[in-house]
Amino acid sequence: MDVDSNWATDWVRRSADAVAAHKADLAALDRAIGDGDHGENLDRGYRAALAALDGLGDDATPADALMLVATTLISNVGGAAGPLYGTAFLKASGAAQGLDELGPSDVVAILTAARDGIVLRGKAEPGDKTMVDAWTPAVEAASAAAAAGSDVRAVLEAAAGAAERGAVDTEPLVARKGRASYLGERSAGHRDPGAESTALLLRAAAEAAADAAERRGS
Amino acid sequence: MDVDSNWATDWVRRSADAVAAHKADLAALDRAIGDGDHGENLDRGYRAALAALDGLGDDATPADALMLVATTLISNVGGAAGPLYGTAFLKASGAAQGLDELGPSDVVAILTAARDGIVLRGKAEPGDKTMVDAWTPAVEAASAAAAAGSDVRAVLEAAAGAAERGAVDTEPLVARKGRASYLGERSAGHRDPGAESTALLLRAAAEAAADAAERRGS
Amino acid sequence: MKKLINDPVDVVAESVAGFGAAHADIVRVVADPLHVVRRDAPVAGKVALVSGGGSGHEPLHAGYVGHGMLDAAVPGAVFTSPTPDRILAAMQAVDAGAGVLLIVKNYTGDVLNFETAAELAAAQGIDVRTVVTDDDVAVTDSLYTAGRRGTGGTVLVERIAGAAAERGDDLDAVASIAAAVNADARSMGVALTPCTVPHSGEPSFALAEDEMEFGIGIHGEPGRETLPMEAADRIVDRLLDVILPDLPFASGDRVLLMTDGMGGTPLAELYIAHRRASERLAEEGIEVVRSLVGDHVTALEMQGCALTVLRLDDERIELWDAPVQTASLRWRR
Amino acid sequence: MKKLINDPVDVVAESVAGFGAAHADIVRVVADPLHVVRRDAPVAGKVALVSGGGSGHEPLHAGYVGHGMLDAAVPGAVFTSPTPDRILAAMQAVDAGAGVLLIVKNYTGDVLNFETAAELAAAQGIDVRTVVTDDDVAVTDSLYTAGRRGTGGTVLVERIAGAAAERGDDLDAVASIAAAVNADARSMGVALTPCTVPHSGEPSFALAEDEMEFGIGIHGEPGRETLPMEAADRIVDRLLDVILPDLPFASGDRVLLMTDGMGGTPLAELYIAHRRASERLAEEGIEVVRSLVGDHVTALEMQGCALTVLRLDDERIELWDAPVQTASLRWRR
Ligand SMILES: Nc1ncnc2c1ncn2[C@@H]1O[C@H](COP(=O)(O)OP(=O)(O)O)[C@@H](O)[C@H]1O
Ligand SMILES: Nc1ncnc2c1ncn2[C@@H]1O[C@H](COP(=O)(O)OP(=O)(O)O)[C@@H](O)[C@H]1O
Ligand SMILES: [Mg+2]
Ligand SMILES: [Mg+2]
Ligand SMILES: [Mg+2]
Ligand SMILES: [Mg+2]
């Protein structure tokens, strides 16, 4: 089964919950190799997004919900993550344009557009120890799952799992982009906060899809 | 037996040693009810006085030595204690004027002049929890000893003992002069640093007299 | 962590409001989207200078808004770049048609948010140039990192370019003076204590009683290396050992020497450091012709110091000395 | 205790030397006996203002030497009044025959040392007046104590009396303006952390993580009482609850509001406090017509803040606004 705008808004709500619940963890990761504000920044952004959801009309499409997340994050998060996540959701919204229901390949297109947006803005390569190291395996796993005939729920499950592994895999890396890069070798041994938050957001997407499937009884 | 200018210069040396040895204790007392600089200030002054002793001619009188202490303390100690001790030694020097040998009544006159100088400058009364509370019993004990026919050594021993008891007796008092007075009731329970340093200086005076007596074999 | 604050969420808004109340003769504060503009903005015919960045570095940047320096400052959350909507609003408020120069400290967040704002402003017909400051020599490898950070040199860029704009230079000229000042400035700092972001409550890093963080960043991000604590003169020499060969500064150069606090350093200690730095530069035949000592680019209550050396020439000296009237830098007005 | 110093014994000498190097356009430093004079001293025909006190309160007093403020400052050891020989040397250096006004903060040590210096100067034919500042309302009982302490109000006295001297007022007039400003100023401070005197190495007092020292003195001497830590607005209200009824300040008054750091407080926090203080004064119908926010009278690296409120009239406003050119307070020059 496919997902619709309910999934998109549920994703926002679950993302807000996850970020709020892990705010302190993200702050601690960012304190270790950055400046400690990643948890607070994302939380401020998602609280604003949650509030903004009320303004979304009943006829809103998934693209509308994604666009709302994009603009809200851009004007509330700040720091590096604000424009990066903002661009991700902006591009994701573009990829969802005109669609009321999203199938497995649509979801892959959305995730790919999001990842490409981040790379376009931030110019990080895989292995630079950034959120790209969670997004890239997520996109790959999602593509593989879709190619293998999985449904949306399984595609997002694959993406979330890969992002989580990708976040863990940033630990030995030496940062080459963002604030952590100033630490050079000393950045190794710590997980990248942006990769961790990416894993949280994609897990929220998967849970929203699982719940949608459950509700529709499939 | 009486004392001469050797006693006066020995007093300076022993005072410098005693202050250096108890610098940290005086600092701690002053930190509790003041600003913690009393030890350092007096130590700076007595180190300067020690250095200045070299400039004292062979024909220097006790009054010259006391004057040298006065001017050196005035221009090196600063804070409240600098002018107070400075005035004390200035007046003490005046009381010793013209004398090469000091007998019991001369020593009483010197201590009295010193105490009066402090009261003149600082306007503290007995019981205000200041150095006056060490000087006043010291003067009284010295007078009593001299009146009873004691020699200089015993007179100064009486003064030192009384100053020490006077310093201890400042502990329950509430300060009414100097920095400690800002604490009001909270100043009770702490010994006054200036009273304590007075006890150190008078103990040094007594030891110098004892040593002079020993040397002369009396 | 004890701080003179109310709700941590309100720190920036309340602080900027207090700033506006204290300096109403110089600035105007707009609460939403939050930004600070000089009282008389937009100034007809003048190129406008806009800067901004995370809060917690006060007086940077709002303290430098006024005649002869910035036209607007855009504060972000503590240690967090401001968002593009605020930056855009500030640009719109101060543009007088002569264009806007953005002065951006080189941190990924600042660069990305100001870039977005610049795109939006350009789309509205505002003529925009951007100078990214990157004077911090603590970052060794600019190729495999986000590049050198913008620190103390930013204040000097704001001042000298601000004076050029006040003199009537056009956008390209102001931008090129700003870029040249940045290119001739070098900075490096050391922290003796960490700082604590209000909403975090945890110190930004750990330092033992006998350690210092050498090459610290102004966001409390750990520095180049943790070294044993040393005497002030030795610390200053260590900083200059990195700073001087980098440009390089050479015998005969005239420079501005800035000894900057981190927020929590007693001024008396900064002068001790400044004394050794001046002495060392004299030993190298470098003449300190202008000095600036105090808290200019801070990291909350962090203790330590940063040195900035800027090569001067007659024009820069003239611009430096020109009238300036801001909350934190003021003379001849 | 980590400090940016060399040998603790050299702290004051090295710091003042660095100060002199940084501000050679404004001051001249004499190393022995140590004092700081304005570059163009003695100024013909002008009444000279001399102040001083223990070091550790920077920028007080050396930071206020210059046109429109002090003619000389005399630094003592850290938290220790300077000795009479230094004070006398400063008076001799700046007296231009029109007399010298001594501005002395009311601490036993300062009063006694300046008194001695004044006697020596008078014996040399210098016309001397003394104003003892005692604006700190934290001291409740002036009869059975050394009396109220001089704190933030001292800066305002130095500034306004300095402008009067620059205007050409004679010694009696300058002294009476100084005394009147002191009489109309009220201050009180609170510390969140203690400070550590360099040669001592021990914090001046102990404060738990949830405590503050209310009515702190600027030498880190314990305050009126130890209270549980509170939000900034509540702390500011507590301070004003003591300050305002004391003069008393009344609805319709025009005032200068000074929100002072203790040395280690981030500027952003001072503005948060200033915001509430301005708001509260407005609530009471008191109009804040001039503001001063920052580190002016500090206690090394102590964190906290002090508020000073001074009643203004047209003349004081005019004197306040007159040109001033010192290291730490400067405008219109
Ligand atoms: N150039 C970049 N490309 C992709 N991601 C980046 C880049 N720079 C930083 N990031 C991500 O941003 C995260 C930090 O975000 P955040 O703490 O909000 O910003 P800041 O570093 O400005 O404080 C990093 O953990 C990293 O994942
Ligand atoms: N008015 C006074 N009369 C006599 N002694 C005083 C007076 N004021 C202070 N003292 C003495 O000075 C001592 C403090 O000296 P010190 O610490 O050197 O000066 P400060 O208080 O200026 O730091 C007190 O302990 C007290 O004995
Ligand atoms: Mg961060
Ligand atoms: Mg003391
Ligand atoms: Mg940040
Ligand atoms: Mg003292």
Q: Of B28, B76, B178, which has the smallest distance from its Cβ to D108's Cβ?
A: B178
The answer to whether the CB of A179 falls within 8 A of the CB of A37 is no
Q: How confident is the model at residue A1 (pLDDT cuts 50, 70, 90)?
A: confident
Report the pLDDT averaged over residues D271-278: 98
How many CA within 13 A on the CB side of residue B210? 12
CA distance C99 to chain A (A): 24
Interface predicted TM-score of the whole assembly (ipTM), two decimals:
0.94
Residue C213 pLDDT more than 70? yes
CA distance D109 to chain B (A): 4
For residue C287, which of C244, C250, C241, C253 has the smallest C-alpha distance? C253
- Bridge pairing between strands D304-311 and D185-191: antiparallel
How far apart CA A69 and CA A87 sit, in angstroms, is 10
pLDDT at residue D142, rounded to an integer: 65
Pull the structure tokens for residue B195.
């009273």
Report the pLDDT averaged over residues D224-245: 96
How far apart CA D275 and CA D284 sit, in angstroms, is 14
Pocket test for ligand 2, best of B29, B43, B131 (most atoms within 8 A of CB): B131
Q: How confident is the model at residue D220 (pLDDT cuts 50, 70, 90)?
A: confident
Euclidean distance between the first and the last CA atom of chain C, given in angstroms as a whole number: 40
How far apart CA C290 and CA C281 sit, in angstroms, is 13
Q: Ligand 4 mean position to B27 CA, how many Å? A: 8
Residue B48: list chain D partners with CB under 8 A. none
pLDDT in tens, D19-28: 999 999 999 9
CA of D209: how far to CAs of C95, D227, D264, in Å? 47, 11, 16
Strand, helix or coil for residue C184? coil
pLDDT in tens, C98-126: 999 999 999 999 999 999 999 999 999 99
How far apart CA D321 and CA D324 sit, in angstroms, is 8
pLDDT in tens, D73-85: 999 999 999 999 9
How many CA within 13 A on the CB side of residue D322? 21
Q: Which amino acid is at B166?
A: G
Residue D224 pLDDT more than 90? no
How far apart CA D87 and CA D30 sit, in angstroms, is 12
pLDDT at residue D139, rounded to an integer: 85
Q: Provide the 8-state DSSP code for B174.
A: P
Residue D146 pLDDT more than 90? no
How far apart CA A24 and CA A38 sit, in angstroms, is 9
Pull the structure tokens for residue C77.
């959350």
Taking an 8 Å cut-off on Cβ atoms, the answer to whether A83 and C115 are in contact is yes
How far apart CA C185 and CA B22 sit, in angstroms, is 51
The answer to whether the CB of C287 falls within 8 A of the CB of C254 is yes
How far apart CA A165 and CA A195 sit, in angstroms, is 10
Residue D76: list chain B partners with CB under 8 A. 78-79
Nearest CA to ligand 2 atom 2: B122
Residue C144 pLDDT more than 90? no
Report the pLDDT averaged over residues C193-222: 88
For residue A82, which ligand has an atom nearest its CA?
1
The answer to whether the CB of B39 falls within 8 A of the CB of B30 is yes
Residue B165 pLDDT more than 70? yes
Radius of gyration of the CA atoms of chain B, in A: 16
Residue C316 pLDDT more than 80? yes
How many CA within 13 A on the CB side of residue C85? 15
* pTM score: 0.95
- Bridge pairing between strands D27-31 and C254-261: unpaired
Q: How confident is the model at residue C142 (pLDDT cuts 50, 70, 90)?
A: low
CA angle at C319 for the pair C314 and C324, rounded to the nearest 5°: 150
Chains that touch C (3 or more CB pairs under 8 A): A, D
What region, left, alpha or beta, does residue B94 occupy, with left being phi > 0 and alpha being psi -120 to 50 degrees?
Answer: alpha
Taking an 8 Å cut-off on Cβ atoms, the answer to whether D77 and B31 are in contact is no
For A46-77, letters b (16+ CB in 10 Å) and e give bebbbebbeebeeebbbbbbbbbbbbbbbbbb
How far apart CA B210 and CA B154 sit, in angstroms, is 8
Residue C192 pLDDT more than 90? yes
Residue C240 pLDDT more than 70? yes
Domains assigned to chain C: 12-183 (3.40.50.10440), 185-331 (3.30.1180.20)
The answer to whether the CB of D4 falls within 8 A of the CB of C270 is yes
CA of C205: how far to CAs of A38, B73, C215, D160, in Å? 16, 46, 14, 45
**Ligand 2 within 6 A of B104 CB?**
no
Pull the structure tokens for residue B21.
């040895």
Q: Which amino acid is at A27?
A: A
pLDDT at residue D144, rounded to an integer: 76
Percent of chain C with pLDDT over 70: 99
D271 touches chain C (CB under 8 A): yes
How far apart CA A22 and CA A2 sit, in angstroms, is 29
Which H/E stretch holds residue B70? helix B62-76
Give ligand 1 pocket residues (Cβ under 6 A).
Answer: A 30, 34-35, 37-38, 41, 79-81, 84, 118, 122-124, 130-132, 177-179, 192-195; C 80-81, 108-109
> What is the overall mean pLDDT for chain B?
96
Please state, as a whole number, how many other Cβ atoms lie within 10 Å of the Cβ of residue A188.
16
How far apart CA B188 and CA D108 sit, in angstroms, is 20
How far apart CA B31 and CA B211 sit, in angstroms, is 34
Contacts of B141 (CB under 8 A, 6+ apart): B158, B159, B161, B162
How far apart CA A179 and CA C150 sit, in angstroms, is 12
Q: Which amino acid is at D62?
A: A
Report the pLDDT averaged over residues A155-176: 98
> What is the overall mean pLDDT for chain D?
96
pLDDT in tens, C253-309: 999 999 999 999 999 999 999 999 999 999 999 999 999 999 999 999 999 999 999
Pocket test for ligand 2, best of B25, B35, B38, B120 (most atoms within 8 A of CB): B38
Q: How confident is the model at residue B46 (pLDDT cuts 50, 70, 90)?
A: very high
Phi, psi for residue D37 in degrees, rounded to 5: -125, 155
How far apart CA C328 and CA C302 sit, in angstroms, is 19
Q: Looking at chain C, list the stretches that DSSP marks H as alpha helix, in order from N- to C-terminal side.
A: 11-22, 84-94, 108-123, 153-167, 171-183, 232-246, 267-283, 314-321
Contacts of A47 (CB under 8 A, 6+ apart): A16, A20
Report the pLDDT averaged over residues C128-133: 98
pLDDT in tens, D172-213: 999 999 999 999 999 999 999 999 999 878 888 889 999 999
Pull the structure tokens for residue D168.
């050409």
pLDDT at residue C200, rounded to an integer: 79
pLDDT at residue A127, rounded to an integer: 97
- Bridge pairing between strands C254-261 and C287-294: parallel
Strand, helix or coil for residue C185? strand
Residue B218 pLDDT more than 60? no
Chains that touch A (3 or more CB pairs under 8 A): C
How far apart CA C149 and CA C64 sit, in angstroms, is 20
Q: Which amino acid is at C248?
A: P
Q: Ligand 5 mean position to A141 CA, how many Å? A: 30
Residue D270 pLDDT more than 70? yes
Burial class, C272, CB count within 10 angstroms (exposed 0-12 / middle 13-18 / buried 19+): buried
Report the pLDDT averaged over residues A136-142: 98
pLDDT at residue C208, rounded to an integer: 94
pLDDT at residue A218, rounded to an integer: 53
For residue D181, which of D326, D323, D316, D329 has the smallest C-alpha distance? D316
Residue B60 pLDDT more than 70? yes
The answer to whether the CB of A155 falls within 8 A of the CB of A212 is no
Give Cα C29 distance to the centre of its chain.
20
Q: Which amino acid is at A53?
A: L
